[in-house]
Amino acid sequence: MIAPMDDLPPTQPLPPRVLALKLGLLSLWAAVSFGTVFFARDLDFTLLGWPFGYWFAAQGALLAFIAIVVAYAWAMRRLQPEDSAAGDQDRA
């Protein structure tokens, strides 16, 4: 059975360092997403039969997004080791 919204325990606010990490990675994502598309027109040469601007915008943005997700997971593992340790003790 799903608990009503009134019965949920209050959540604690996130630490400022986690919020700064999220803001920084979100800004990087926006810069990669919109910056590559904006400047892709200036990259006017062919690479492996495709215009380099198209390749850079399509493939480079995807690789950057994967790198952002990996960086977020790595940083959260480093920033909150006490949370995962407490969760492991609860399961035992």
Backbone phi, psi, residue 46, to 5°: -100, 135
- The encoded tokens of residue 77 equal 């593992």
User: What's the pLDDT tens digit per position in 39-92?
Assistant: 767 777 777 887 777 777 778 888 999 999 999 999 998 887 655 555 555 555
The number of distinct structural domains making up the chain is 1
* 75: Cβ contacts below 8 Å, ≥ 6 apart: 21
Q: Name the residue range of residue 33's domain.
A: 14-79
Residue 6 lies in a domain: no
Q: What pTM, to 2 d.p., does this model score?
A: 0.66
Specify the residue for token string 């850079």.
56
Residue 91 lies in a domain: no
Residue 44 lies in a domain: yes
Residue 69 lies in a domain: yes
**Cβ–Cβ < 8 Å for 21, 75:** yes
